[in-house]
Amino acid sequence: MSVKPHSNWEPLSPAKLRHELRTPLNHIVGYSEMLLEEADLKQPAVKESLEEILRLGRRLQALLQERLAEDEVSRGLETAEALEAPARRIAELCDRIAACCSPLPTPEFASDIVRIQEAARRWMDLVERRVRRASGLPPARPPSGSQALAAAEAGSSRPFEFGALRAERVLIAEDEEGNRELLRRKLSRMGFRVAVCADGLETLRRLEEDPVDLLILDVLMPGIDGMEVLRRIRARPELQYLPVIVTSALDETDKISRCIELGAEDYLTKPIDAHLLRARLRAALEKKRLRDAEQVYLRRIQEEQAKSEKLLLNILPAPIAERLKRGETSIVEAFPDATVLFADLAGFTGLARAFSPERVVRLLDEIFSEFDQLAARHGLEKVKTIGDAYMAVGGAPQQRPDHAEAAARMALGMQAALEAFSRRQGLTLRMRVGMAAGPVIAGIIGRDKFSYDLWGDTVNTASRMETLAEPGTIQTTESLALRLRPRFSVRKRGVLEVRGKGPMPVWILEGERQAKSASDA
C-alpha cells in the first residue's frame, strides 16, 4: 500500500538537497578537525570519539554524492536511513564526550561540541523533512536525548550535559494569546517541551507544581506583573537559579533594567527574532547547566567529605578529629582524673581454634559492636581493640565529673550484653574486666596512620586489674571501689600481688544499688 506524501513538504532536487545539507556537514567536519588539532585532549576516550566523529563526517560527505543522485533519491527509505545513521551516531558521540570530559579543556571546547551535535541534529531534521515527510515515509526513530545517554554511561548519577536543546522544558508566561501562541510554536519547532500560562499567579503556581529548565516572562501581565513574579521567584531557594528571560516592548527599557537587577538572565524585545531567541536560550541554558554541574560537584565533594569525616571519627574521638582538621599536628593532653577500663574474653583463644576464621571475626565484630553502642550510650571513649581485648576511657578526651560511675555502668552493661549474646549463639563466653581511676596522658601517635592512645600508671593498673580478675567478674582498685560504693554494690576480694605495684587490695564491682523510695527512707 502506498503512502501519500506530506502535503507541506515537496521533495527537493538532489542538487538543492545537497546544498542544504552541506552547511551542517561543514560544521561537523570543520569543528571536529579543529578540536583534534587545537584542543588539549587528556582523555583517550574523548580523542577517540572526536576521531570517530570526523570519520563519520567524511562518510557523510561521500553519501552526499552516493545517495543523492537522481536514481538514489527515488529509493527514499533506503536513502533516508543511510543518511541518518552516521548523523545519529555523531549526536550520541557528542553526549559521550560531554559525559567523560572533565575537567573541560576550555569553555570554547564545550561550545564546539554543542555546535557539532546541533549540526548532526540539523542534518537529521533536513533528512526527516526533505526526504521522509516529502516522500510520505514513516518518521524515523527519534534520536536519544542527551540526558538518557549521559545517565546510561554514568550510572545513577547525572553528569554535566552539553546536550541538545530538545530535552529542555520551558514555561512561557505571556498574557496576550497571539504572542503566547507564536512563541510557543517557535520553541516547539526548536525541540523544546513547552508549557504556557497567562498571568503571574498562575506562573508561580505552575513553577511550584511542575519545575522547568527556563522561564520566558512577560513584564506586563494581569494580577501581578513580571517584576513581582521575578521578585518572588528569587526569594525561593529552589528557584533561585532558574534562568528567566524577560520579554517586553521597546518602550519599557526602564522596566527591563529593573528586571535584570532583580535577577533576570536576559531580555528580548518584541517582536522576537527566532535566531536571537535561540541564541539567548542557548546562552541561558548553558549557564544553568554549569550551575547544575557545580551543584553536583559540590554535593559530591560534600558526600566525600562526609565519608572522610565518618572514617576519621571511626578512628579518632570527635574533639581530636576537629583539632586535626583545624591544622594541629601534635596533640597531647594530661587529664588529672579519668577511669580506664580493660575487658578481655576469657578462653576465647582456645574457643577460636574450633571455629573458622570467618566465624571468629564475625563473633568479635558482633560483640564489640554492642560494646561500642554501650560506650556511646554511657559517654565513654573507645580507645582500641587488641585481638579479643577491648579498652575504653571515661573522662578523656572530654572531662566529666561522673566518669567513674559511667565506666562502672558500662562494665556492668558489657557483662549483661555478653551473657545475652552467649545465649543467642549457644556458647559459653565469659569476660574479665579491670578498672582503675586516676591521672592519664592522652594523645595522637603516628603520621600516616593516626592512633589515639593513653599512657600512665592508671592505664597500667587497670590492665593489671583485668589480667588478675576471675572470669565473669569486674575487678577494681580499692580507691575506685570506695568511690563507687555510695551508688554501687562492691565487695573486697582481698590483697593480690600486682606486677610492678606489689601487694594491692582489690575489689569486685557486683552491681548498681537501687535508688531508695520515700517509703524506704
Tell me: the pLDDT tens digits for 265-280? 888 877 777 778 888 8
Query: Strands, DSSP E only, in 201-303?
Result: 214-218, 244-248, 266-269
Query: Facing residues of 436 across strands?
Result: 340
**Can you give the pLDDT at residue 515?**
59
Confidence of residue 76 (pLDDT cuts 50, 70, 90): low
Quote the pLDDT of residue 253.
65
Spatial distance between the Cα atoms of 410 and 402, rounded to a whole number of angstroms: 12
Report the percentage of the chain scoring pLDDT > 90.
35
Terminal CA-CA length for the chain: 105
pLDDT bucket at 196, cuts 50 / 70 / 90: very high
Average pLDDT of the residues in 323-329? 75
**Alpha carbons 218 and 144: distance in angstroms, whole number:** 33
List the alpha helices (DSSP H) in 316-344: 318-325
Check whether 405 has a pLDDT greater than 80.
yes
pLDDT value of position 8: 47
Least confident stretch, 65-69, 255-259, 372-376, 474-478: 65-69
Q: What is the pLDDT of residues 210-240, one digit of tens each?
A: 889 999 998 888 888 888 999 999 898 888 8
Domain spanning 168-315: which CATH class is it, in words?
alpha beta
Label residue 308 exposed, middle or buried (CB < 10 Å: 0-12, 13-18, 19+).
Answer: exposed
DSSP string of 148-209? Answer: HHHHHHHTTS-------GGG-EEEEE-S-HHHHHHHHHHHHHHT-EEEEESSHHHHHHHHHH
- 493 vs 129: CA distance, rounded Å: 98
Q: What's the CATH code, domain 1-159?
A: 1.20.120
- Least confident piece of the model among 352-356, 408-412, 424-428: 352-356
CATH class of 318-512: alpha beta
pLDDT for 184 equals 85
pLDDT tens digit string along 357-386?
899 999 999 999 999 999 999 999 999 999
Domain ranges of the chain: 1-159, 168-315, 318-512
Mean local confidence (pLDDT), 162-179:
71
Q: What is the mean pLDDT of residues 484-504?
A: 95
Radius of gyration of the CA atoms of the chain, in A: 37
The 10s digit of each residue's pLDDT in 35-73 is 887 666 767 778 888 889 989 988 887 887 676 655 454
Using the predicted structure, report yes or no on whether residue 346 has a pLDDT greater than 80: yes
Phi, psi angle pair for 60, to nearest 5° = -65, -35
In residues, how long is the chain?
521
pLDDT, tens digit, 9 for 90 and up, residues 93-149: 888 887 766 555 667 777 778 888 888 888 888 887 777 766 666 666 555 444 323
Task: Give the pLDDT confidence score for residue 172 in this predicted structure.
Answer: 94
Specify which of 86-90, 257-261, 341-345 reaches the highest per-range mean pLDDT. 341-345
DSSP, res 238: G
State the average pLDDT over residues 148-156. 33
496: left (phi over 0), alpha (psi -120 to 50) or beta: beta
C-alpha cell at 42: 587528556
What's the rounded Cα separation, in Å, for the pair 177 and 198?
Answer: 8
pLDDT in tens, 79-108: 777 888 888 889 888 888 877 665 556 677
Task: Please enumerate, as own/partner, the contacts of 65-70 that have beta carbons within 8 Å and a separation of 24 or more.
Answer: 68/14, 68/17, 68/18, 68/21, 69/14, 70/14
State the Cα–Cα distance between residues 407 and 374, nearest whole angstrom: 10
- Check residue 3 and give its pLDDT: 36
Q: What is the 3-state secondary structure (H, E, C) of 351-407?
A: HHCCCCHHHHHHHHHHHHHHHHHHHHHHCCEEEEEECCEEEEEECCCCCCCCHHHHH
The DSSP symbol for 440 reads: E
Mean pLDDT score of the chain: 81
